[in-house]
Chains A and B, each alone.
Chain A
Amino acid sequence: DSGVTQTPKHLITATGQRVTLRCSPRSGDLSVYWYQQSLDQGLQFLIQYYNGEERAKGNILERFSAQQFPDLHSELNLSSLELGDSALYFCASSFYRLAGVDTQYFGPGTRLTVL
């Protein structure tokens, strides 16, 4: 158990809908990272928040957004969903602001299925 929690574990929805994925980092960690894992793209970095502020962006679509709250949990919002958004979404956390300073620990993921 990495100490990172994600909810829900599974999510099934329809095209055009909007969903919210939730992540709680390990106790004491300030950085939260979101990744998407699909069959054809592997693990892709989406976005990072550090202590409530956006710190780095990867291949995140404009339809997707995220935020980190004062209690350091984070939410990833996916809107106008398309079939191709079906994937596993992982959250990871670490203590430091910079990605390469310390290890990122991953949560169990949320499997999103868009029908």
Chain B
Amino acid sequence: GESVGLHLPTLSVQEGDNSIINCAYSNSASDYFIWYKQESGKGPQFIIDIRSNMDKRQGQRVTVLLNKTVKHLSLQIAATQPGDSAVYFCAENRDDKIIFGKGTRLHILP
């Protein structure tokens, strides 16, 4: 079922290529950032997180980069696969609440 907004930015990537999804945050006091993946009809699924004392963190096929100077967060997915097709949300810990961004839809081209 439909679970995300109508006006999401969409990133289309060729299968096998790397994907980079970007996110800007506004609160320089935010100290914890998370990326979630949401497939159609499902709840958000944790991918990777990073604390503000780091600028890079790697997981399996995913890397999160944090640039505190410009308040920018990115998620890199290596060798994108059809199963990566989903909406990706960045979230930040702001005032002890997790605040979600609007999301980016990742579309995989065959």
Q: Which residues of A pack against B, CB within 8 Å?
A: 2, 4, 33, 35, 37, 39-45, 48, 56, 58, 88, 90, 92, 98-100, 103-109, 111
Contact of B43 among A40, A48, A106 (CB under 8 A): A106
Contact of A104 among B1, B2, B98, B101 (CB under 8 A): B98
> For B45, B97, B103, which residue has the most chain A Cβ atoms within 10 angstroms?
B97
* Contacting residues, chain A, for B98 (C-beta < 8 A): 33, 45, 99-100, 104
* Contacting residues, chain B, for A44 (C-beta < 8 A): 100
Kindly state whether residue B25 has any CB partner on chain A within 8 Å: no
Give 9 pairs: A residue, B residue, CB < 8 Å, sorted on A: A35-B100, A39-B5, A43-B89, A58-B97, A92-B44, A98-B96, A106-B43, A106-B44, A106-B46
Bound complex: CA of A52 vs CA of B35, how far in Å?
Answer: 28
State how many angstroms separate the Cβ of B26 from the closest Cβ of chain A. Answer: 15
Bound complex: CA of A4 vs CA of B45, how far in Å?
Answer: 11
State how many angstroms separate the Cβ of A111 from the closest Cβ of chain B. Answer: 6
User: Interface residue tally of chain B, by bracket?
Assistant: 20 to 34
Contact of A111 among B1, B31, B97, B103 (CB under 8 A): B1
Bound complex: CA of A44 vs CA of B3, how far in Å?
Answer: 13
Contact A108 B3 (CB under 8 A): no
Contact A42 B93 (CB under 8 A): no
* Contacting residues, chain B, for A105 (C-beta < 8 A): 46
| 5 closest A-B pairs by CB | A100-B93, A106-B43, A43-B100, A100-B32, A106-B44
Contact of B45 among A35, A98, A106 (CB under 8 A): A106
State how many angstroms separate the Cβ of A38 from the closest Cβ of chain B. Answer: 8
Contact A103 B49 (CB under 8 A): yes
Bound complex: CA of A109 vs CA of B9, how far in Å?
Answer: 23
Bound complex: CA of A98 vs CA of B100, how far in Å?
Answer: 17
Contact A37 B96 (CB under 8 A): no
Contact A99 B93 (CB under 8 A): yes
Bound complex: CA of A41 vs CA of B6, how far in Å?
Answer: 10
